[in-house]
């Protein structure tokens, strides 16, 4: 067994779309990922199923892995012959201690690459509507760590050079030292009326901002209980925010959505919600295990009047099985239906014009194609072809916990009736008391069948969009929150 390779990857500031192409390619080939707190955990969903995930995140009041331990883990895993990804929030070279990690690898003659990332000191201001340089306001820009190894964690800086020589200053993770920062800048010549903006969770849907001046921002931050992770941006360029703020104007900005997952693939619904400004946590994460082909059903496929697919994956698995067994798809004369819009789209990509389950009439010989019997209990006379089994990936439970700790979920979306029971079961297994949790959030179902499943479990639903489409869901979520009812249909 030879030595592996380590990729020291910048994950970007938070928005999943801001990781580099090279960084994402590295994640997709990983055998081990050692990730930080500020690297968006959603990036881990691009890793292979058998990838080992290790949390090395650091909080101000405690360390999960100290830097020397992180170095040791990188060396040990690479010596096992594995491809190791060190996933670090922002850019690894900007207060990311990548130099220490690279030195440790070099000392052991372990090959490595450093993949730059977008640093939050530039990205967070841009998402708040502020370029860090501007021909009329700022010709210089600097980044500063606002806590270091000095006594009491107060940064020892050349305050005179910062105050007089820099137009725009981005302080990283410095909310605790904000009074100290403001006092020193003013004492060394920065005007007290200089604009300051705090940007918390920059580029996430939960991004928050607080504006003031060097004279009053510390008091405002204390009153608002503003906390890290945050960028403190100092400079007159901050005045541009009123004109060019864009991210916080997205229709779903501030929505923190927990989306019930029914498959292990990428969710187009989740991507659309994020495009519209929401934070989306998908739960649970699934693993798929292939099942043997049902030879009897395959031999009589032309005898069915209706075929219902329970997931997009079941579509792929069904038609792959037909192809591998030399079955002509023209033998399929049945009307095709899907449990969800995503399943419908998978059928459309193959040239069919399917219908949603709500449009399916009674009667006729029926086949259900899917990954479990839970969805077909109501179709007692139907035949069932189990194309695969799904299993909740419990490795992601700890990751889900950290995402929930950092978020403040205000919306739960069930994309299909098949998503309700597995989601509730997984939440309970995770240790969340479902009824009390859902009581304080908006619960949305994509269609009457879905809301019926919510009601059947005795839960309160908030409502549903006019159509079971991602566009209709976005429109619904931009409206007022309705009162909850047991069924709300």
- Is the C-alpha dihedral spanning 321, 323, 326, 330 positive or negative? positive
DSSP string, 99-166: HHHHHHHHHTT--EEEE----HHHHHHHHTT--S-BTTTBS-EEEEES--SSGGG-----HHHHHHH-
Q: Which of 122, 166, 173, 446 is catalytic?
A: 173
393: annotated active-site residue: no
- Is the C-alpha dihedral spanning 29, 33, 36, 38 positive or negative? positive
36: annotated active-site residue: yes
Residue 309's SS3 state is strand
Name the token pair of 190. 């920065």
Q: Which of 58, 208, 250, 287 is catalytic?
A: 58
Distances (CA, A) of 48 to 51, 52, 281: 5, 9, 19
- Residue 157 and residue 177 in contact, taking contact as beta carbons nearer than 8 Å: no
Q: Specify which residues 306 forms β-bridges with.
A: 335, 366
- Rounded to whole angstroms, the Cα distance separating 235 from 128 reads 14
* Sheet of 411-414, strands arranged across: 279-283, 256-260, 411-414, 442-445
Strands 141-145 and 208-213: unpaired
Q: Which of 5, 15, 36, 88 is catalytic?
A: 36
**CB neighbours of residue 176 within 10 Å:** 15
DSSP string, 82-94: -EEEEEESB-TTS
403: annotated active-site residue: no
Among candidate residues 453, 454, 431, the one with its CA nearest the CA of residue 443? 454
DSSP 317: H
> What positions carry a catalytic annotation?
36, 58, 173
């Amino acid at each position: 067994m030879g030595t592996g390779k380590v990729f020291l990857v910048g994950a970007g500031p938070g928005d999943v779309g801001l990781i580099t192409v090279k960084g994402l390619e590295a994640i997709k080939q990983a055998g081990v990922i050692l990730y930080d707190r500020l690297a968006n955990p959603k990036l881990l969903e691009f890793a292979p199923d058998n990838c080992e995930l290790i949390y090395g995140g650091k909080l101000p009041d405690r360390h999960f892995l100290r830097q020397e331990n992180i170095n040791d883990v990188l060396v040990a895993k690479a010596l096992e012959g594995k491809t190791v990804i060190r996933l670090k929030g922002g850019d690894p070279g900007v207060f990311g201690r990548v130099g220490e990690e690279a030195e440790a690898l070099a000392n052991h003659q372990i090959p490595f690459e450093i993949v730059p990332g977008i640093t939050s000191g530039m990205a967070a201001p841009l998402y708040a509507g502020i370029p860090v340089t501007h021909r009329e306001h700022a010709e210089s820009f600097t980044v500063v760590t606002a806590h270091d190894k000095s006594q009491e964690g107060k940064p020892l800086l050349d305050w005179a050079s910062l105050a007089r020589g820099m137009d725009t200053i981005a302080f990283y993770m410095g909310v605790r030292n904000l009074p100290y920062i403001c006092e020193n800048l003013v004492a060394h010549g920065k005007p007290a009326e200089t604009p300051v903006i705090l940007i918390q969770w920059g580029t996430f849907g939960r991004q928050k901002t607080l504006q003031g001046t060097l004279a009053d921002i510390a008091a405002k931050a204390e009153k608002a209980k503003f906390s890290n992770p945050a960028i403190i941006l100092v400079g007159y360029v901050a005045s541009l925010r009123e004109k060019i703020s864009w991210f916080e104007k997205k229709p779903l900005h501030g929505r923190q959505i927990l989306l019930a997952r029914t498959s292990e693939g990428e969710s187009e619904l989740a991507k659309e919600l994020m495009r519209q400004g929401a934070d989306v946590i998908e739960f649970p994460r699934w693993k798929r295990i292939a099942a043997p082909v049902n030879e009897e059903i395959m031999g009589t496929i032309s005898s069915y009047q209706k075929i219902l697919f329970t997931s997009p994956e079941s579509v792929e698995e069904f038609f792959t099985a037909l192809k591998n067994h030399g079955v002509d798809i023209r033998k399929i004369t049945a009307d095709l239906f899907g449990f969800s819009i995503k399943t419908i789209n998978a059928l459309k990509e193959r040239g069919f014009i399917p219908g949603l389950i709500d449009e399916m009439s009674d009667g006729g010989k029926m086949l259900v194609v899917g990954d479990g019997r839970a969805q077909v209990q109501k179709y007692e006379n139907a035949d069932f072809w189990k194309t695969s089994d799904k299993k909740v990936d419990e490795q992601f439970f700890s990751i889900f916990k950290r995402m929930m700790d950092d978020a403040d979920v205000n919306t739960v979306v069930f994309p299909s009736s098949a998503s309700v029971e597995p989601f509730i079961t997984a939440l309970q297994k995770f240790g969340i008391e479902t009824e009390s949790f859902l009581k304080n959030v908006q619960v949305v179902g994509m269609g009457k069948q879905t809301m019926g499943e919510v009601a059947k479990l005795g839960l309160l639903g908030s409502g549903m969009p006019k159509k079971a489409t991602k566009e209709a869901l976005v429109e619904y979520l931009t409206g007022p929150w309705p009162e909850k009812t047991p069924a709300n249909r």
